[in-house]
Amino acid sequence: MSFQLIEYADASPEVRAVYDDIMATRRIDWVNNFWKALANHPQTLKRTWESLKQVMGPGQLDPLVKELIYVAVSVTNNCNYCIGSHGAAARKAGMDDAMLGELMAVVAMANETNRLAIGYQVPLDDVFKGAVMEHSGG
């Protein structure tokens, strides 16, 4: 009764349609385990893929930058699978060893200063208010 990784050969037509779109969009001929796991709940598979395709698709931020941000969040959340899969995507998008080193340094530094700001309960400078939202009640 448990979930299994669902291979293309065993997939329903609606799951296969998502797999096909993943492969066509990424110009590859295989699907990674993440999607094979989500395929146990086809609604989640389809929605997550369509959301990811939109979010990681063309926009103002460079594809490499988006992957670096993805890795940064995944390291902070300790998601080993995501570090591996998005680390690979970042490599493919052009991340070299120097960039990877700097990425890790920034992520670690941010985690450090986040806790200093929280621990010291530092009040936000007036000049920083509104950098994200005007009149936020934060």
Write out the binding residues for its own copies, residues 96-115 only, by CB under 8 A. Answer: 96-115
**Minimum gap (Å) between residue 94 Cβ and its own copies:** 11
**Minimum gap (Å) between residue 18 Cβ and its own copies:** 14
List 7, 10, 20, 44, residue binding its own copies (CB under 8 A): 44
Residues with Cβ within 8 Å of 103's Cβ and at least 6 positions away in sequence, in order, are: 68, 71, 72, 95
What whole-number distance in Å separates Cα of residue 50 and Cα of residue 42? 12
- Taking the least distance from each CB to its own copies, the nearer of 17 and 64 is 64
List 7, 10, 20, 33, residue binding its own copies (CB under 8 A): 33
Q: What are the C-alpha distances in Å from 135 to residues 13, 100, 118, 123, 125?
A: 49, 37, 22, 16, 14
Among 20, 10, 78, residue whose Cα is nearest residue 49: 20
What whole-number distance in Å separates Cα of residue 6 and Cα of residue 86? 21
Q: Is 23 in the site for its own copies (CB under 8 A)?
A: no
Number of residues engaging its own copies in binding (CB under 8 A): 91
**Minimum gap (Å) between residue 16 Cβ and its own copies:** 18
Residue 60 dihedral angles phi and psi, to the nearest 5°: -80, -25
String marking each residue 49-88 x if it binds its own copies according to CB under 8 A: --xx-xxx--xxx---xx-xxxxxxxxxxxxxxxxxxxxx
